[in-house]
Structure 1
Amino acid sequence: MSNFLYGIDFGTTNSALVIYNEDTNQVHGTIIIPSLIYFYQHTGPGNSPNYVVGEAAISAYLEDDMKGRFIKSVKQILPRSSFIETRIQGKKYNASDLVAIILKELKGRADELISQDCRKAVIGRPVFFDDDDVKKDTLAQTRLSKAADLAGFEQIRFQFEPIGAAFAYEKSLTQKENVLVADLGGGTTDFTYLVLDPKKTGLKDRKDDILANGGIYIGGDSFDSAFMWEKGTPYFGKNTQYEATPGKVLTVPKSLFANICSWEQMNFFNSLRIQRDIEDYYYYSGNDPLFKNLMTLLENNLGYSVFQSIEKTKITLTAEDNAPFSYHKMDISIDEQISLENYEQIIAKDVDRIAGYLDTFLAQNNINPENIDSMFLTGGTSMVGAIQKLFKNRFPHVKLNSGDNFKSVATGLAYSGYLFED
């Protein structure tokens, strides 16, 4: 029986698991799934939990007429102390429970490939789960550790995700380099500055090669939220006015629409009080048709499909100067052309925050840009044009390298078995 180790990149948008054979020092296989869970409207036989994970969650969500609960970006709730639990199919689920469902799915698929029950894993984590907040960071890792335990892992180590990406990149080098790694995912942007040397690949102790790391709580979901706020919410009644008392006209609170700009909040935006408030605003608005779209969105659990359209627009704009933002479902109809210039204006604040953090990171760690030999970008958000421009402008002398945006981190985590050498 061979000895295996799993490198697991639990991501906001996608999660990857790389199977590593510790006897042959070879990658045995890779599994990538969307970080999605769909709970059917009703429980299974004997009142058992009834859900599907990954790709199947999307199909089930659509085939089930979107009547159940669709969970996306569950990684975002890990540092949120305000999230205690949610009730689905009459059962309570906390953050660890939800994450464990995805980790267990990955483990089950991998165990089937190797015909073993592997209980050893290096799990990736962002440098900061929530902008350098120690309490939230500790809470998030505790919850992630508990989730790994619930999924069936017994030997667990954690590795910063950009370090995992760096070790994957090191395999392609022919000489020693000072490398700045940027891992831009759905939830966070992380940086690591380290010395990579192909002669050291596989060595147990690499602590001295890691010179600096840091991160900021901004990623692709932030871009999508900004887009939803600027371009999506007007179609859901953001500017709706209502008259609760004769002659006194007010605008519906913007906080309602902030909630539909975040998957993290939309997943749990279902309290009776909020539903009653929305019904009242609709009535006092004179049944405003755009505000009715908000009711349709929430009542029919259409959030994922709206953000799918936003994602398509974003992806198209990585290669084109214009892209349609189009959505047609039930009575909701959106048709708008988005220029690259307009999109970059929408996400400019978030890109500027990443740029500001990068400058701070370099200054605090006394990193001279002239000493950076190469830069390695990974994560789906690294493909956004404004991000590419940011790094090209900051480091005109440095070549921008990239690997597989969906498995680089997991592969490097699988190479991090040295963490078990206490």
Structure 2
Amino acid sequence: MLKTRYEGPAVGIDFGTTNSSVAVVRGDEKVELASFPTATGSTVSFRSILYLEQVKRNGGAKQLLSKTGPAGIEAYLDAEEKGRLIQSLKSYLPNRTLTGTEVFGRHFTLEQLVSRMLADLRERAERQFGIPIRHATVGRPVRFVGAETDENDAYAVSRLRDAFALAGFEGVEFEMEPIAAAYSYESSLDHDELILIGDFGGGTSDFSLVRVGPGVRARGRSPEDLLGNSGVGLAGDAFDARIVRKLVSPAMGSESFARSLNKTLPAVPTWIYANLERWHYLSFLRTRNVAEILRSARLRALEPEKIEALTALIEEDLGYQLHQAVQRVKFELSHSTAAEFRFHEGSLDLRIPVTRDEFEEWIAEELSAIEHSVDSLLESSGVSAREVDRVFLTGGTSFVPAVRRIFAKRFGEGNIQTGHEFTSVAHGLALRAEESLVASLV
């Protein structure tokens, strides 16, 4: 069982649905981020991915190897025979029915799978900073994806704590991710403010109202400084899925039909296209059954070229490349009113124009849920929008203009600030860890 009392050094770990990062406080509250090697250099944003593969050793015996983060992606892309690529594990933590999975005939609990990523994060940070890391302050969402009750939310926290223990940690403290972002923002202030933090991850969007500043630190923080928080179980991944559903899947036959006797029916079952919306599920479609379904559909389809494109995407296992193309067009639409989805991989060459207005129409339901979460936070906290001094937005989805307009409409464009969108939570967690460490020594 992990200890809960904090011990040095001051380390913050943001274990995210899509990306993770680690930060350490050195002297004079200087925060340093761990970096992770990639094929083209290094990155401070570690993809929350686990890749498992079987390799033959001398004598023909098979050994199960795991790689995580950028190294896991590169191993997956380089492999001729694909192993098992797993991502978004954080989103399954509240699920009591998902206890684990079989990989190459071996059973792994969810906690064991998560711990492999956490162990690599810890070991990489230890090598870079030259210090042992056994304690950390760890981020958690206001509400985990899929946690419908407080009990399920607490269950997710307990599983994450167990995963940290399996990864070699002796103690962790949990802090709300938007509160951690508030610590990061506060480090640049020379006066006190009431701020609204919007933290957009891959799986959750979290919001908090909190008083921060040098005066708050000097008098000592109190529970009353956190006026309220709210969250919704959607963010960047949901936006990506909409792009695939509305833009990519139609180009691969999702709206196409086939002749069947005297009837015209959908060419391909909808569940196949549902797997496209989460790129790491594409490997699950490389089965004999799916191949036969697509072969038959291609023969009967009114638009066989679209079924051929879908077949190529699956057979050539281009899920990750598709995900990257979706990310690119989403980024372009955040900076331009129109863009072109480009996907030139393997035997595929897709070019599809898309406008920002179309994208915003596709994500209207998600935008409404975010609006409701922000408004409910203000209402439950008894705070009016004009009382909020500043809005600090962090996470990749904060770049989306339609998301930013939600806050500009309520608080004014001039009151919105962004920065370090992918690492501010880890930065703030490290500062929070330093504060806990100092308090424990007083």
CA distance in 2, matches of 1:400, 1:277: 48
2:137 alignment counterpart: 122
| 1:40–1:64 Cα contact (<8 Å) kept | no
Cα 1:332–1:29 change in 2 (3 A) is: closer
- After superposition, the C-alpha distances for 1:273-303 in whole angstroms (9 at most, x for unaligned) are xx52562354155264423443443344321
Matched, 1:6 2:11: yes
Deviations 1:78-120 (A, max 9, x none): 2334433333333333322222122111100111123332110
In the superposition, the TM-score normalised over structure 2's length comes to 0.85
Unmatched segments (≥5 aa) in structure 1: none
Instruction: State the 1:396 CA deviation.
Output: 1.8
Relative to structure 1, is the Cα distance of residues 267 and 254 closer, same or farther in structure 2, using a 3 angstrom cutoff? Answer: closer
Q: How many residues align?
A: 416
- Asked whether the 8 Å contact 2:94–2:144 carries over to 1, the reply is yes
The RMSD of aligned alpha carbons is 2.7
Q: Which deviates more, 108-117 or 366-375?
A: 108-117
What is aligned with 1:15?
A: 20
Preserved CA contact (<8 Å) 2:54 2:62 = no
Letter in 1 for 2:240: D
Residue 222 (structure 1) aligned to one of 225, 238, 244? 238
Cα gap change, 1:349 to 1:293, in 2 (>3 Å) = same
CA contact (8 A) 2:200 2:206 kept: yes
Partner of 1:48: 63
User: CA separation of 1:212/1:314 partners in 2, compared to 1, >3 Å: closer, same or farther?
Assistant: same
- Kindly indicate whether the alpha-carbon contact (under 8 Å) linking 2:91 and 2:145 is maintained by their aligned counterparts in 1: no
Name which of structure 1's ranges 109-118 and 80-89 shifts more when overlaid on structure 2. 80-89
Distance 1:291 1:172 in 2: 54
| SS of the residue 1:325 aligns to | strand
Q: CA deviation at 1:206?
A: 4.0
**Partners of 1:64 and 1:407 in 2: CA distance:** 30
Aligned residue type for 1:141: V
Match of 1:39 among 44, 52, 76: 52
Whole-angstrom CA distance in 1 between matches of 2:189 and 2:170: 34
Return closer, same or farther for 1:43/1:270 CA change in 2, 3 Å cut-off: farther
- For 1:76 and 1:371, the matched residues in 2 are separated by 34
Residue 132 of structure 1, CA deviation: 5.5
Indicate how the Cα distance of structure 1 residues 395 and 28 shifts in structure 2: closer, same or farther if over 3 A, else same.
Answer: closer
Q: 1:29 to 1:283 in 2, by over 3 A?
A: closer
Structure 2 residue corresponding to 1:387, chosen from 403, 424, 433: 403
How many Å separate the matches in 1 of 2:161 and 2:219?
26
One-letter code aligned to 1:11: G
Q: % of aligned pairs identical? A: 31
The answer to whether the Cα contact below 8 Å between 2:182 and 2:428 also exists between their aligned partners in 1 is yes
Given the superposition, is the C-alpha separation of residues 142 and 293 from structure 1 closer, same or farther in structure 2, using an over 3 Å criterion? farther
**Shift in CA distance, 313/43, structure 1 to aligned 2, threshold 3 Å:** farther
Cα distance between partner residues in 2 of 1:141 and 1:351: 27
Change (3 A) 1:89 1:300: farther
1:288-339 deviation per Cα after TM superposition (whole angstroms, max 9, x unaligned): 4423443443344321110110000011122222222111233333111222
Q: Please, which of 172, 176, 183 is the counterpart of residue 156 of structure 1?
A: 172
> Per-residue deviation at 1:243?
5.3
1:205 to partner: Cα distance: 4.5
1:167 match: 183
| Separation in structure 2 between the aligned mates of residue 338 and residue 306 of structure 1, nearest angstrom | 16
- How far the C-alpha of 1:36 sits from its partner, in A, is 2.2
Match of residue 88 from structure 1: 103
Q: Write out per-residue CA displacement over residues 198-239 of structure 1, whole angstroms, 9 at most, x where no aligned residue.
A: 134488754331110110011011100011100011123212
2:407–2:413 CA contact under 8 A, matched in 1: no
Mapped to 2, the partners of 1:5 and 1:200 lie a distance apart of: 21
Tell me, in whole angstroms, the C-alpha distance in 2 between the residues paired with 1:362 and 1:346.
Answer: 27
Tell me, yes or no, if structure 1 residue 27 matches structure 2 residue 19: no
AA matched with 1:36: I
Amino acid at match of 2:22: L
Counterpart CA distance in 2 for 1:61 and 1:416 is 36
CA 1:124–1:263 in 2, change beyond 3 Å: closer, same or farther? farther
Report the counterpart of residue 4 of structure 2 in structure 1.
none
Does structure 2 conserve the Cα–Cα contact (< 8 Å) formed by 1:202 and 1:415? no
How far residue 363 of structure 1 moved from its aligned partner, in angstroms, is 1.5
Kindly indicate whether residue 106 of structure 2 is the aligned counterpart of residue 101 of structure 1.
no
CA distance in 2: counterparts of 1:141 and 1:378, whole angstroms? 22
Whole-angstrom distance in 2 between the partners of 1:162 and 1:181? 6
Matches within 5 A, 1:210-289: 210-242=226-258, 246-251=261-266, 252-263=268-279, 266=281, 269=284, 276=289, 279-280=292-293, 282-284=295-297, 286=299, 288-289=304-305
Letter of the structure 2 residue corresponding to residue 302 of structure 1: L
* Of 394-403 and 371-380, the range deviating more from structure 2: 394-403
Q: Give the 5 Å matches for 1:319-338.
A: 319-338=335-354
Cα distance in 2 for partners of 1:156, 1:55 equals: 25
Contact 2:54-2:63 within 8 A present in 1 as well:
no
Secondary structure class of the residue paired with 1:286: helix
Distance in 1 of aligned mates of 2:364 and 2:56: 44
- Which runs of no fewer than 5 residues in structure 2 stay unpaired? 1-6, 36-43
The letter of the residue matching 1:152 is G
Given that residues 294 and 311 in structure 2 are in contact (C-alpha distance below 8 angstroms), is that contact kept between their aligned partners in structure 1?
no
Report the Cα distance in structure 2 between the residues aligned to 1:384 and 1:43, rounded to whole angstroms: 46
SS in 1 for 2:34: strand
Deviation at 1:25?
A: 4.4
Quick one: distance in 1 between partners of 2:218 and 2:78? 47
> What does residue 186 of structure 1 align with?
202
Corresponding residue SS for 2:412: coil
- Which amino acid is 1:254 matched to? T
